[in-house]
Amino acid sequence: QDVTESRFGKGLFNVIAKDSSYSANFTVRMQSLFTSDWGIPEAGDWEDAQSNLMIRRARLKLGGFAYSPKLKYKLQLGLANRDISGASPYTSNAPRYILDALVAWNFYENFELWVGQTKLPGNREQLISSGSLETVDRSLVNSYFNLGREMGVQLHHSTNLGGNFLLKEAVSVSQGEGRNITTGNLGGHQYMGRLELLPFGDFDAYSGADLDREETPKLAIGLSYEFNNDAVKTRSNAGSYMVNDEGFFETDITTFFLDAMFKYRGFSLMGEYADRRADDAFARNSDGSLTGDAVNIGKGYNLQAGYVFGKDWQVVGRYTNIDLDDQISEAIENQYTLALSKYIAKHKLKIQTDLSYTDLDLGLDDNLLYRLQLEIQF
Amino acid sequence: QDVTESRFGKGLFNVIAKDSSYSANFTVRMQSLFTSDWGIPEAGDWEDAQSNLMIRRARLKLGGFAYSPKLKYKLQLGLANRDISGASPYTSNAPRYILDALVAWNFYENFELWVGQTKLPGNREQLISSGSLETVDRSLVNSYFNLGREMGVQLHHSTNLGGNFLLKEAVSVSQGEGRNITTGNLGGHQYMGRLELLPFGDFDAYSGADLDREETPKLAIGLSYEFNNDAVKTRSNAGSYMVNDEGFFETDITTFFLDAMFKYRGFSLMGEYADRRADDAFARNSDGSLTGDAVNIGKGYNLQAGYVFGKDWQVVGRYTNIDLDDQISEAIENQYTLALSKYIAKHKLKIQTDLSYTDLDLGLDDNLLYRLQLEIQF
Amino acid sequence: QDVTESRFGKGLFNVIAKDSSYSANFTVRMQSLFTSDWGIPEAGDWEDAQSNLMIRRARLKLGGFAYSPKLKYKLQLGLANRDISGASPYTSNAPRYILDALVAWNFYENFELWVGQTKLPGNREQLISSGSLETVDRSLVNSYFNLGREMGVQLHHSTNLGGNFLLKEAVSVSQGEGRNITTGNLGGHQYMGRLELLPFGDFDAYSGADLDREETPKLAIGLSYEFNNDAVKTRSNAGSYMVNDEGFFETDITTFFLDAMFKYRGFSLMGEYADRRADDAFARNSDGSLTGDAVNIGKGYNLQAGYVFGKDWQVVGRYTNIDLDDQISEAIENQYTLALSKYIAKHKLKIQTDLSYTDLDLGLDDNLLYRLQLEIQF
């Protein structure tokens, strides 16, 4: 047995070469999740509870620099069945094992060029690692609107606008059909940009809970816009393929996100607004008849606030509203969540639990969801 | 190249943090298996040999403690096609890549709470790692009756009853449908308990072959009982789902195991008895008609004895009897196995070969099976 | 963070045990590939470009020695969807995750016995790692004729014929149905042999580009011959299974390869000739009717030459000709490729691009293919 200088939470294997030719940090994560949910009819008794026990996520992550400190790399692999699901003819009928496979080159001053598969510069909730959330999982806004991971190129830059005022910019060009696709580009490409303002200086704007108890107020405001030229999937680069008699129905899709994170003395506030539009939301065959698929256009927003008490116990309240276009779904969805987390070693070892009530109008069944999760990250 | 203090068989990567905040031990295993088998009709000539060459098992294993020595973790991944097979709609159509993903917390004295997916406290043969067997693979009793791995919680405890007399207890609550299931719990949960007595002190009761040549007789007797409430699979949490017109046929299933291991001066004796029962063994539709599926109720036992000669050559004889309930299968299966192993570096590097004759009554074809396996474990 | 003596390109984790009981070298590779191709009809305009962005290959590799320096091991895993594709009932419906799982024993002088799954002693292009090519990917000769990986045993030997003249010999016996098969052997086994002559001494004959700028001319000539007894697949151990009314159509298949590599002062020349024959190339049912499957018999050759300029820029020209048997396909395929590579850290970090024109006769559409690839290997 060897003695390592690394510490719990800093990587199981964390080295730098003596000649500075590379560094490597290898980490592992696992989430054990218990859920129980009840269908609640508008009239009548609650339905029987459905329960589920599973490894929700398990991941291997490797990162560092290679050849030169200016060339960074990242490889992240999913292990859990939910991580690697999604095998289809578009992925060579193989599980979607690779999450990130990325090389980032700092070629000039504050400019970085990214090549490979990783998260697009989309909404904040999505950019926050699923291991750094202040709730058991992300909100419905993210489920409906996020643009996830893609193979492509990204250009990142950051500017100091004077004082502590920071501006971060990112643009990307990608295939537009989601991660691990081997069948090539269909329709056109996807173009995306993100601007982020940090008026009061840099801080950890991509993790839930103010565990660092910021001594001065910190704010980040983000704005993302995506244009997917001739998109072929119902949620731009996600959802299902819109197959028609000629092959695929193609339409231009745009998604707009506005998001913010505020942290101060243990208090954190996160908000997010999403809006998706399509040139023609209804997939059609060549003769104009409907195929039955439709782009999930509409709006959604999420607001959540939390406070970290002593010994890193945190309480969070969350409100989410999903309002898809009336032609897609007339039902408005409201979700109310109350979450409690005990951070034993910050996000590296924590127990999180939340209770969510989802209210659907138009007489549809409501739902109560309870979740309990244990997370460990090296 | 760095110099490590670890040794072959003790982990490829084996570290402890200087600040004692974690430890990690990473190991790899591979089994190369050749098999050849012949069908032997009661009348007539032997059939042509069927042969097979494959990587039978290949595994990555990571374990250690995290945050505190009282919090242990284990992650084991399957790599070989036979390890990861079993993709189905119940596993998100993804391969069953994770074997173990477990956190074990020693919260009080000799009590340990396990959370995650791992082996249930079932029969001894199953609890012995497939890399520590004294034959090429486990017996038919295990194939028919073992309860494998599950997502759930387990409570483990050990007691010293005075002198060397040890008592080990374990109970578990789990989903009851096997490993890597993402579709949630069907029917009720599975409850299991195991008691183990070690009257002459602790020893390596979960590995085949007395390679340590125990100087005093050592004995372990185990007893496991499982109750699977409203089970939906033909072998309790294993086998196939019993689908019917309403969804799934549900019945209570119980499995009882009695097992023992004895080791003394190179001699080892292992025995196992299994008995499975069901409230209603025959799956039915809502109108009472049979679906064709049936719970594999019945009994089986396995007895095997081995002796380790000089230079770690071992000879093993094994007799296995499977007697399913007459209504499930009237055939009684007897299997006779003769095994020879050369342990080059104990179980870490070994060559094993065995010859098994399977005798089915009622005029069914018998079978002769030859196997040769090379195993390496770091 | 620990300091390691390893360097970029020499393994992320590279250790030897203090007691010399094992060594381990862990490496990672990723290829990000962009391709664009145009169909070019004999008459009429070019078709629209098809483009594709993907992680072409991503691999984990582990190797070293175990127990004794005379016992080497190798484990290589595919991660990218194209690496692990090919799940079928013959692979337990699981992805083909393992590429190599091999133990090699140097049991006597220059003799080595290999057991497990790895590349067969086939053609040179196939034996060159996909990470050490001087073009973005291998030639069409390899696509049509290579015999890839198999589970089996191999015997390797090398002889010094006097002076620098080296002779390397290898023979193998394997299943004959390709890698990761769990359903066992069908038909007969596959037997293969390879002879290699190195008249001017040993050199890196299994990597593209003369990055070492050999000061004296170096030459390797290889010759491989394969006999697949009662083969059941269209490309011997590759391609698709030839299913017929009785199960599988079986025929003897042979493949012959002649290849050479020459390197001198930055100049490299590689040539390869392949010829496949079958006893009966056309799969038939028991009544003699054709099933529609046919063994891909015929010939092909590939010639390529490159020169490494200053700062490790390399230009390569390649000509490939595929001439399947007239009864299989009357079209002759000619491919002309021009490639440009910038080796930043030899094959460990490089950017490669090539342009290929594929000319089919008989009035079939031609094709223009552009590729750009970034490769990183630790």
Domain of residue C31, CATH code: 2.40.160.10
Helix (H, G, I), strand (E, B) or coil at C143: helix
Task: Give pLDDT, residue B329.
Answer: 80
Instruction: Provide the ipTM.
Output: 0.95
Residue C368 pLDDT > 80: yes
Residue B330 pLDDT > 80: no
Q: What is the mean pLDDT of residues C177-197?
A: 95
Distance (Å, rounded) from C-alpha A147 to C-alpha A123? Answer: 8
Task: Give pLDDT, residue A161.
Answer: 92
User: Between chains, do C82 and A182 touch, taking CB under 8 Å as contact?
Assistant: yes
Whether A270 is in a domain gets the answer yes
Q: What is the mean pLDDT of residues B209-217?
A: 97
Whether A46 is in a domain gets the answer no
User: pLDDT tens digits for A91-127?
Assistant: 999 999 999 999 999 999 999 999 999 999 999 999 9
Whether A15 is in a domain gets the answer no
Element (DSSP H or E) covering residue A368: strand A366-377
Looking at chain A, the whole-number percentage of residues with pLDDT higher than 70 is: 100
List the alpha helices (DSSP H) in C227-331: none
Q: What is the mean pLDDT of residues A338-353?
A: 98
Q: What is the mean pLDDT of residues A170-175?
A: 97
B349 - beta bridge partners? B345, B376
- Give the number of A-C residue pairs with CB atoms closer than 8 Å: 129
Nearest CA in chain B to C12: B1
What token pair was written down for C43? 């008459």
User: Between chains, do B184 and A52 touch, taking CB under 8 Å as contact?
Assistant: yes
Helix (H, G, I), strand (E, B) or coil at B353: strand
How would residue C96 be classed by pLDDT, with cut points 50, 70 and 90?
very high
Distance (Å, rounded) from C-alpha C62 to C-alpha C58? Answer: 14
Task: Give pLDDT, residue A118.
Answer: 98
Are the C-beta atoms of B262 and B218 separated by less than 8 Å? Answer: yes
Are the C-beta atoms of B174 and B192 separated by less than 8 Å? Answer: yes
Residues from C contacting A (CB-CB < 8 Å) are: 1-9, 12-13, 28, 30, 32, 35, 50-55, 58, 79-82, 84-85, 87, 95, 344-345, 348-349, 374, 376, 378
Nearest CA in chain A to B116: A32
How would residue A290 be classed by pLDDT, with cut points 50, 70 and 90?
very high
Whether A50 is in a domain gets the answer no
Q: Which chains lie within 8 Å of chain A at 3 or more CB pairs, if any?
A: B, C
Q: Which of C99, C279, C248 is nearest to C183 (CA)?
A: C248
Whether C179 is in a domain gets the answer yes
Residue type at B250 in one-letter notation: E
More confident residue, B326 or B249: B249
Residue A361 pLDDT > 90: no
Nearest CA in chain A to C55: A116
> In this structure, what is the dihedral angle of CA atoms C160, C161, C165, C168, given to the nearest 10 degrees?
-60
What token pair was written down for B114? 């396990």
Total domains present in chain A: 1
Q: What is the mean pLDDT of residues A21-50?
A: 91
Task: Give pLDDT, residue A187.
Answer: 86
Q: Which of C154, C91, C160 is nearest to C127 (CA)?
A: C154
Whose structure tokens read 């179980």? B347
Cα B17–B23–B27 angle (5° rounding)? Answer: 130
Whether B180 is in a domain gets the answer yes
User: Between chains, do C73 and B8 touch, taking CB under 8 Å as contact?
Assistant: no
Task: Give pLDDT, residue A258.
Answer: 98
Task: Give pLDDT, residue B210.
Answer: 98
Q: Which of C362, C252, C296, C345 is nearest to C143 (CA)?
A: C296
Whether C1 is in a domain gets the answer no
Whether A11 is in a domain gets the answer no
**CA-based nearest distance B159→chain A, Å:** 28
Residue C330 pLDDT > 90: no
Distance (Å, rounded) from C-alpha A117 to C-alpha A97? Answer: 12
How would residue B202 be classed by pLDDT, with cut points 50, 70 and 90?
very high
Element (DSSP H or E) covering residue C145: helix C140-145
Task: Give pLDDT, residue C320.
Answer: 97
User: pLDDT tens digits for C165-183?
Assistant: 999 999 999 999 999 999 9
Task: Give pLDDT, residue A329.
Answer: 79
User: Phi then psi for A312, rounded to 5 degrees?
Assistant: 55, 40
Q: Determine the structural domain holding residue B133 and report its residue range.
A: 28-58+129-377
Q: How many CB atoms lie within 10 A of CB A130?
A: 17
How would residue A42 be classed by pLDDT, with cut points 50, 70 and 90?
confident
Element (DSSP H or E) covering residue C351: strand C349-360
Task: Give pLDDT, residue B362.
Answer: 78
Instruction: Please list every residue in chain A whose beta carbon sits closer than 8 Å to the beta carbon of residue C344.
Output: 67
Are the C-beta atoms of B276 and B295 separated by less than 8 Å? Answer: yes
Instruction: Show contacts of A321-329: CB within 8 Å, 24+ apart.
Output: A322/A140, A322/A141, A322/A144, A322/A298, A323/A298, A323/A299, A324/A144, A324/A296, A324/A297, A324/A298, A324/A299, A325/A281, A325/A297, A325/A298, A327/A281, A327/A282, A327/A294, A328/A281, A328/A294, A328/A295, A328/A296, A328/A297, A328/A298, A329/A298
Whose structure tokens read 């939390």? A306
Q: Which chains lie within 8 Å of chain C at 3 or more CB pairs, if any?
A: A, B
- Give the number of A-B residue pairs with CB atoms closer than 8 Å: 129
Distance (Å, rounded) from C-alpha A85 to C-alpha B89? Answer: 10
Task: Give pLDDT, residue B326.
Answer: 81
How would residue B172 be classed by pLDDT, with cut points 50, 70 and 90?
very high
> In this structure, what is the dihedral angle of CA atoms C256, C262, C268, C273, given to the nearest 10 degrees?
-10
DSSP secondary structure code for residue A74 in this structure: E
